[in-house]
Amino acid sequence: MGAIATTKSLNFCSSQEPLSFLSLTKSKTLHPNVNFSKTSLNPHPRLAVRASSASSTALNDSPNPTLSNYDHQLRVKILSESLPYIQKFRGKTIVVKYGGGAMTSAELKASVVRDLVLLACVGLRPVFVHGGGPEINVLLNQLNIPSQFRDGLRVTDARTMEVVSMVLVGKVNKDLVSRINFAGATAVGLSGMDGRLLTARPSPNAAQLGFVGEVARVDPTVLQTLVANGSIPVIASVAADEYGQPYNINADTVAGEVAAALGAEKLILLTDVAGILRDREDPGSLVKEIDIKGVKKMIEEGKVGGGMIPKVNCCIRSLAQGVTTASIIDGRVEHSLLHEIMTDEGAGTMITG
């Protein structure tokens, strides 16, 4: 969520069904009956843009060659009205962890890449951290190496570590870099070993987990240089210890530590769930916003459990180290990244300090 909801919102409204800012960015033809109203800014502003279009088209539809002067003026005015929000976030660093179902769906992968490039184009400074569990599983199966997990973490022996490095650094990372470059931005692929970005240490459960590590230290120098030059760093969650031994590190953990080291405005974890639920059995009980104290209480009460606990703890740790807000959002929803940053509703749960 880019902001706390205000009593006034920036709305483009008509009598027909609402259309979000995301649809406006994709639409080639807009309905002429659109009204504009201003909103007040607060410490976490959102962009809430509403409009109506009976003839909006998808991004990949054929372009409309007959846009009227009014259509052009309307689109310019919409961008102009969003200026205060773009200014608010311009120059701010956001760290996005990419994984789960959004990695296996071609449509969702394209959506995430477009969102990332759009945010970079309007002046945000995204840093992209990724895992790649499904791809790792595929190659392990092909090599007849069994996959084992303990407490949600992959048991990583020497052979598995070699596969993890090949997949995350050599395949997934370069595929994402290529897609981002093709979409019009400049991406640079890294692992934790490049530029001494991350120094790893063994997990406390190394005897059971093998080469599964934690982040001992972050040196953000290489990231600061890339971000300052307008590039998008794409980071694979593999790092080495002081002796050069590679470790497989949870991508959520890497994203949180990188966000803290960069003093990021926002940490966003793309997941396969809607966010934090008050009732894990009720998808409609989504918690839209909560502070650290509140989410710790939910953990104590058992309302947050399973695989959500390490994600929440990652967010808490990053907030404690200076990140402004951290969000857990549904990566299965198309354009959820834009929904989270540039709308009042958001796309999941925002945790504040």
The radius of gyration of the chain from alpha carbons, rounded to an integer in Å, stands at 21
User: According to DSSP H, which parts of 167-236 are helical?
Assistant: 173-182, 206-209, 221-228
Which of 120, 44, 94, 99 has the alpha carbon at shortest distance from 262? 94
Alpha carbon distance 108, 343 (integer Å): 19
Contact 331, 102 (CB under 8 A): yes
User: Dihedral through CA 20, CA 25, CA 31, CA 32, nearest 10?
Assistant: 110
Q: According to the 3-state scheme, what is the secondary structure of 77-123? A: HHHHHCHHHHHHHCCCEEEEEECCHHHHCHHHHHHHHHHHHHHHHCC
210 catalytic, yes or no? no
Catalytic residue among 2, 28, 88, 97: 97
Query: What's the CA gap between 79 and 84, in Å, rounded?
Result: 10
Q: Which of 2, 99, 133, 192 is catalytic?
A: 133
Cβ 99 vs Cβ 67: under 8 Å: no
CB 127 within 8 A of CB 96: yes
d(CA 202, CA 214): 6
Question: Contacts from 77-83 at CB under 8 Å and sequence distance 24+?
Answer: 77/36, 78/12, 78/24, 78/49, 78/51, 81/10, 81/12, 81/36, 81/38, 81/49, 82/10, 82/21, 82/47, 82/49, 82/342
100 included as an active-site residue: yes
Q: Active site includes 97?
A: yes
Active-site residue (options: 115, 252, 330, 344): 252
Catalytic residues, by residue number, are 97, 100, 133, 252, 311
